[in-house]
Structure 1
């Protein structure tokens, strides 16, 4: 049995993600998480008030990792190269962290100031990339919304198995990003 002093919020969050990947996000409970950690489930209440708080903390953990990964991969890049890098990193990160992404798109930013701040940080990364193309802040907001919507739609539809056509999915993603870059370059 894991001793209490070794149990941290991070360990609980990481185990919860692993469990969510195994059984589905909607199936995780404190009892199941405790089984996975080989502890008694009341111990989890020392770290989180309830499963909803845990899911918010999981979302924060996911967004912190997404933003860190994006920032690392975007260093020294601008323009078209930065847009492509952002798009591919975002897509791949979402696919590699399916449960985290599912939480991110299902927990409203109004649930937590920290979730809202981190989501705004993600958006600021996009807008900074798009500043390369225009100084018109309204245009940049419209285009950042367009890019976020494209990426979210692609990840969501693909994750749910809606792209069954034999046409190469990677080619479709590249074409979508090419079209977005063309649309912003024409301003």
Structure 2
């Protein structure tokens, strides 16, 4: 790839692809420079540095996940919305492990784009919870429970934690979503 073909978007996409291959923590500017066939200093005209690149990959992953979530939830509510939301996260994590890791990053500095994505992602979670009688003052707790269950299960599964015993991870996934549905359906408040 010639230097003329580089842009911040191209560098970010290359970094996201590399993250999916080797892990988000392993993405470095020097690895990106090697991959696109330029010297390291050339990348600095496209990204401000390693932290800027990490933030860009995180925002890209959040954009992809949110856009897919909006499509997955369209016309769904309650249990069906919960399952679509959960399955989307699990599928995205399996297809894009480095991006999913980046999407869970808590180190995104405040910016208009980060705020816009946070609002969109919050809207998705609200859309799921709208199908349940979770009182407004309890929503933050319900959001944290949903996020913890999804991210925790997905990370354990990706790390191979369910490969050594029966029943399958797939069966446990369905049981976990059934339990989450029951919890949300009878949320105290």
Cα distance in 1 for partners of 2:90, 2:73 equals 14
- Deviation per CA, 1:156-177, whole angstroms, max 9, x where unpaired? 1111222232321111000000
Give the structure with the higher percent helix.
Answer: 1
TM-score by length of 1: 0.89
Q: Any runs of at least 4 consecutive aligned residues in structure 1 with deviations exceeding 4 A, and if so which? A: none
- CA distance 1:38–1:68, shift in 2 (3 Å): same
Q: CA RMSD in A?
A: 1.8
Contact 1:126–1:144 (Cα < 8 Å) also in 2: yes
Cα distance in 2 for partners of 1:183, 1:133 equals 10
Cα distance in 1 for partners of 2:26, 2:85 equals 32
The runs of 5 or more residues in structure 2 that have no matched partner are none
- Deviation per CA, 1:87-122, whole angstroms, max 9, x where unpaired? 10111112211111212223424x333335423432
Contact 1:134–1:140 (Cα < 8 Å) also in 2: no
The runs of 5 or more residues in structure 1 that have no matched partner are none
- Paired residue total: 185
- CA distance 1:51–1:81, shift in 2 (3 Å): same
Which residue does 2:97 correspond to in 1?
98
Which residue does 1:175 correspond to in 2?
175
* Higher relative contact order structure (alpha carbons within 8 Å, sequence separation ≥ 6): 2
Which residue does 1:145 correspond to in 2?
144
